[in-house]
Amino acid sequence: MTDPALTADRNRETGIWPSIHAERAALAADLAELTDEQWATPSLCAGLTVREVLAHLTAGASLTPVSWLAGVIRCRFDFDKQVAVRLAEQLGEGPDETLERFRRIVPSRTKPPLPAIAMLGETIVHGEDIRRPLGIRRDHPIEVVTQVAEYYRGSDMVVVAKGRVAGLGLVADDGPFAAGSGPLVSGPTVSLVMAMTGRAACCDDLEGDGVELLRGRCGTA
């Protein structure tokens, strides 16, 4: 007999993939006309250019649990080295190839051993890492970024987020997201997501007594 809870989890996972694919497609479209100078722009992801972040997204969508584990073992459980190696594999000879490789994985459902919601979060956060320094704006569907905000406020799996917002009251001013209690941090849902995942610059979009506390926690492990 099938476990109803397991079935519900699988359905939830399946329902997230269309959002992942839509976010990837939107990002590919936004980057179609970049100049070489724009591709070399520092992203909000510390130490990586716009082009390198896109290659990182391609890498994440190209790894199965088996290939991920093989890479971790090959890098002797140095996870930062594993990320760097996989990024380099997907960078290509130039920006055009970097973008083409990303376009190929837009419809992919391949992923390392992470839940689909984590892949959606990675796509949105790294998409904003790329867009914001380039002055590109995307109006993400509010239900999608709300789903991601709910995930991050309760998880430290991929990036410390739950710990970063502990003791703070988070309230979106453009959607239904609200979580926690304590000094207030309020603003657009996507900016809350970005701050939760350590992007200090995105605290400029936020208001409330807890903003400076959250800013001070950005960049911490």
| Entry pTM | 0.87
3-state secondary structure of 172: strand
Q: What does the block give as tokens for 113? A: 């051993």
Written as tens digits, the pLDDT of the chain (221 aa) is 444 444 344 546 668 999 999 999 999 999 999 999 999 999 999 899 999 999 999 998 987 655 655 655 665 555 566 667 777 787 889 999 999 999 999 999 998 888 999 999 999 999 999 999 999 999 999 999 999 999 999 999 888 999 999 999 999 999 999 999 999 999 999 999 999 999 999 999 999 999 999 999 996 44
Of residues 124, 45, 49, the one with CA closest to residue 91: 49
End-to-end Cα spacing for the chain: 43
CB 59 within 8 A of CB 86: yes
Alpha carbon distances (Å) from 61 to 24, 58, 83, 164: 10, 5, 12, 26
Q: Which CATH architecture has domain 144-217?
A: 2-Layer Sandwich (3.30)
- 44: Cβ contacts below 8 Å, ≥ 6 apart: 128, 129, 132, 133, 194, 199, 201, 202
Q: Which helix (H) or strand (E) holds 184?
A: strand 184-187
| Domain extents in the chain | 4-134, 144-217
Please say whether the beta carbons of 190 and 145 come within 8 A: yes
* Separation of alpha carbons 128 and 149, rounded Å: 14
Question: What's the CATH architecture for 4-134?
Answer: Up-down Bundle (1.20)
